[in-house]
Amino acid sequence: PEVLSFRHPRANSNEPDWWVRVVPNKYPALTEEGEPFRSAEGLYDMINGVGVHEVIIETPDHQTPMAALPVEHIREIIWAYRERLNDLSTNPKIGYVLIFKNHGPSAGASLDHPHTQLIATPIVPVLVEEELKGARKYFKYKERCVFCDMIAHEMRKPLRLLEASESFVAIQPFASRFPFETWIMPRHHRCHFNTILDREVEDLAGILKRTLGRMWNTLDDPPFNMMLHVAPPHDDNNPYYHWHIEIIPKLTTVAGFEWGSG
């Protein structure tokens, strides 16, 4: 059964005439049943796999990737992101919600049909926790958000600035981990994606389409991963963390040096 859909007003749930649809993953990594509890095996801590795993089907059209969708349609996809984050942020079992997109087999996509995934976990993932700790440390030292400072610097010296719209910037971060790595961030401080305003959704849809379109045209439809990093849902009014979208084309192989050095 569908969790959420945007469809023709006269159409019934779980029937055709939808244009964006959210459904439970057929092979979920986590289950909603039960309560999260920690256990230990010697010095190793574990937590049971309680959470949510959903698929956001971006379009009924099997052949149309996000980069080729109209801005108005991408806006609806972003609304679906916002609605699911809004809903899951009130779930006391959930410690973090990660929305991500795998495009192409080498980026981990197991289905050709355009889709995004959502996984809500009982804990904050390690990579996000490291980002939070780094941002918290920077804020403690400078009393400013590191992401806001990054945006201000790239706006002053636009060497890595791809685009600046009314509400968002697209940049290729300094010392990028991967070729053509791109971040999209709100120009004003926001830690939670689900606080995005309707007019900002339209703006974000446009800059996201143009960013993916540049990659499509320049790199010939590369495989990529797209991740939406947000503050943990129960972390209100966070002054040091800034939500952002990371887009990473899969153009190179991660080998021994990268695995060994980080």
Q: What is the 3-state secondary structure (H, E, C) of 26-41?
A: CCCCCECCCCCCEEEE
In this structure, are residues 222 and 105 in contact, taking their beta carbons and an 8 Å threshold?
no
pLDDT, one tens digit per residue, over 16-54 is: 889 999 999 999 999 998 898 899 999 999 999 999 999
Q: Please give the helix or strand (H or E) that residue 163 lies within, else none.
A: strand 161-164
Angle ∠(143,125,28) on CA atoms, nearest 5: 145
Joined together, the tokens standing for residue 87 give 């809903």
Which of 53, 115, 229, 242 is catalytic? The answer is 115
User: 4-261: what CATH class?
Assistant: alpha beta
Largest CA distance in the chain: 57
Query: 115 catalytic, yes or no?
Result: yes
pLDDT band with cut points at 50, 70 and 90 for residue 253: confident
Q: What gap in Å lies between CA 77 and CA 245, rounded to an integer? A: 14
The residue ranking higher by pLDDT, 11 or 217, is 217
pLDDT for 12 = 80
Can you list the positions of beta strands (E) in the chain? 4-7, 18-24, 38-41, 44-47, 52-57, 96-103, 115-121, 161-164, 168-171, 182-186, 224-229, 244-249
Angle between helices 71-88 and 198-219 (to 10 degrees): 120
Q: What gap in Å lies between CA 31 and CA 53, rounded to an integer? A: 8
pLDDT band with cut points at 50, 70 and 90 for residue 254: confident
pLDDT, one tens digit per residue, over 149-194 is: 999 999 999 999 999 999 999 999 999 999 999 999 999 999 999 9
Q: What residue ranges do the domains of the chain occupy?
A: 4-261
